[in-house]
Chains A and B, each alone.
Chain A
Amino acid sequence: MDKLKSIYASAYSTTITIAIVVGLTIGAELSASFKAWLATFTGHHWVTKSWISIIVFVLFFVIFKFVKKSINESQIRTALAILQIFVILGFIAILGFYMYEFF
């Protein structure tokens, strides 16, 4: 069912996007040269991160949607559970990192 494959693909591509955003965010704060390198693409590191988040989401959505032949409900529930865990962990990681850096 196409709707189920789309949900499955979106859940995993969202999870990967969140993981990459967290990695880019913390990596750019720990390495000034990496942050400057990100800025070279668009003029601002945040704009580059925004474009990367779009590209990663679309890329993995297509991969998960078209590579997987069939999806069952259990696989979607697992994908959505992993997504929820990553959102919460990503929120804590980014906010916690900046709090740690400040204090």
Chain B
Amino acid sequence: MDILSIFLSKPVLIGLHLGFAILSIDAFLWLLGEVVANAGSVKRRLIAAVLGLAGYILTWIIGGYYYVNFYGSLVKPIIKAGSAPWAHLIAMEAKEHIFLFVIPISITILLLSRLDSGQLQSMGLRKSLIRITLIVAGLGLSLGLMGFIISAAARWGIT
């Protein structure tokens, strides 16, 4: 088995999908702390915002690859035949589409993060940045919860 095969195996894909999502959520919570605390470093805010955006992009590509190549043929039938078909029909369907919100929101946050704390205050944009950052971290957490439900439903199968 070569490295690429290991990288493209189902457990590794799921792990990377989750891992990069956690990285994004953590990065945006870090950014939130920077903005709430009125910290002066634009560089730190930009690092947090870039990490958040990059993590969501990677989790999108990796999760998308898994979803298209494995989920529909291997996981979905087990969930739909099991005791919690709603895990696919509600959680998965909502997750895969709501996820498409997070990249553009993250780009908007990154662009806002280029302003220094004085500009954010004087232009009245600090509270907007706080709210949008909270929203994108909250979206990530809610999608993570849906992912946990989907994985649990598949793991339990028809029991």
Contact = CB atoms under 8 A, between A and B. Distances in A.
Interface of A: 3-4, 6-7, 10-11, 13-14, 17-18, 21-22, 25, 29, 43-44, 46-47, 49-50, 53-54, 57, 73, 76-77, 80-81, 83-84, 87-88, 90-91, 94-95, 98-99, 101-102
Interface of B: 60, 64, 67-68, 86, 89-90, 93-94, 96-98, 100-101, 103-105, 107-108, 111-112, 114-115, 123-125, 128, 131-132, 135, 139, 142
A7 B49 CA distance: 14
A3 B101 contact: no
A49 B97 contact: yes
Contacts, number: 100
A46 B64 contact: yes
A95 B86 CA distance: 12
B108 A73 contact: no
Q: What are the nearest 8 A-B pairs in CB distance?
A: A14-B104, A80-B128, A73-B123, A10-B108, A25-B97, A95-B94, A98-B90, A53-B100
